[in-house]
Structure 1
Amino acid sequence: MAALFVSATPALAKDEAPCAAGMVCASNPATVAAALVKRGYQGLPGKDQTGDPQVESATDGYSYTIFFYGCEQAKQCDSLQFYASFKNPGGIDAAAVNDWNSRKRFSQMALEKNGAVVLRYDVATIGGLNATNFADVIDWWATMVGSIDDFFDEHKAPAAGAKKPAA
């Protein structure tokens, strides 16, 4: 009985569900790049530092990378992470990050040790996403990245020497 539970792992599900025609799958990086291009974005395939696939793109004037996860020897990946890094304009601290994370459903913000602000959006693709679903993923990501400037303005640190108005 225990063998049945062990054999029903996500890794097996990934192997049993190849990327069907017309689907977007992390197991077939070319489908991810092509889906971006179809939506009017660049989709530049490449490899990350470990040899796993990645795709470079941009939206709203910001570059981002799509990293592939759950890969076995740089193949058969099962999920994607949209990732963008921004220079901290000042004022983005843990409280601001928590504010973003409490108001945004599909993305996660974090502060890197070097002070950079990073935005992530994770998507599982086991069995594939149809073109409409993946277009929605891209649109949500573009919306999140597109709102970053307003968020930075909202949390901007006061200029050096500026005084807070009296109440």
Structure 2
Amino acid sequence: MKPIVLTFAALLAAPAFADVDASNPARLYDLLRSEGYAVELGRDSVGDPKISVKYEGTGFQIFFYDCSDNVECRTIQYQTAYDMTDGMAYAQSNEWNATKRYATVYLDDEMDPFLQMDVNVDYGVSEKNFVDNFKMWTRVMKDFEDYIDW
């Protein structure tokens, strides 16, 4: 009987880490603010939640997807755009996509690059995992800026 009591006591003493997901944009906003990031909570053009972020001079958005009537979203995507004077060559964007693992680039009709990274947070991830993925995005974004001499 004693081992059961000790196991139960250990479970009570263990820190509780609540999962985060895309169903509560305000929670993700608060989590990023608590990490020191400049963020703004808003809505995109179809009414889904959106978090705008400013990081080391670059603005980007966190878009919420797989939503039901603009709530109860399931996934997110980080996205930023670069308005380049001469655009970006297809070969350069293809090289990025072929050699980089986490974020992909696509070109608009003016050949300006959009960098994006999808994150599946459906069913929840730990706060630590969410922040780690966010930091991964910011590293990849800065790597891309170096890649295009931004």
Structure 1 length-normalised TM: 0.75
SS in 2 for 1:45: strand
Task: Tell me which residue corresponds to 2:95.
Answer: 99
SS in 2 for 1:73: coil
Aligned runs of 1:1-167 on 2, under 5 Å? 22-90=18-86, 92-153=88-149
Q: Which amino acid aligns with 1:68?
A: F
Distance in 2 of aligned mates of 1:72 and 1:114: 33
Deviations 1:39-60 (A, max 9, x none): 2112211011111100000223
Gaps of 5+ in 1: 1-20, 157-167
Task: Tell me which residue corresponds to 1:159.
Answer: none
Q: Classify 1:147/1:73 alpha carbon distance in 2 versus 1 (closer, same or farther; 3 Å).
A: same
Distance in 2 of aligned mates of 1:90 and 1:114: 9
Distance in 2 of aligned mates of 1:59 and 1:105: 21
Is the CA contact 1:83–1:121 (under 8 Å) kept in the aligned structure 2?
yes
SS in 1 for 2:139: helix
SS in 2 for 1:67: strand
Number of positions where the alignment pairs a residue of Structure 1 with one of Structure 2: 134
Gaps of 5+ in 2: 1-16
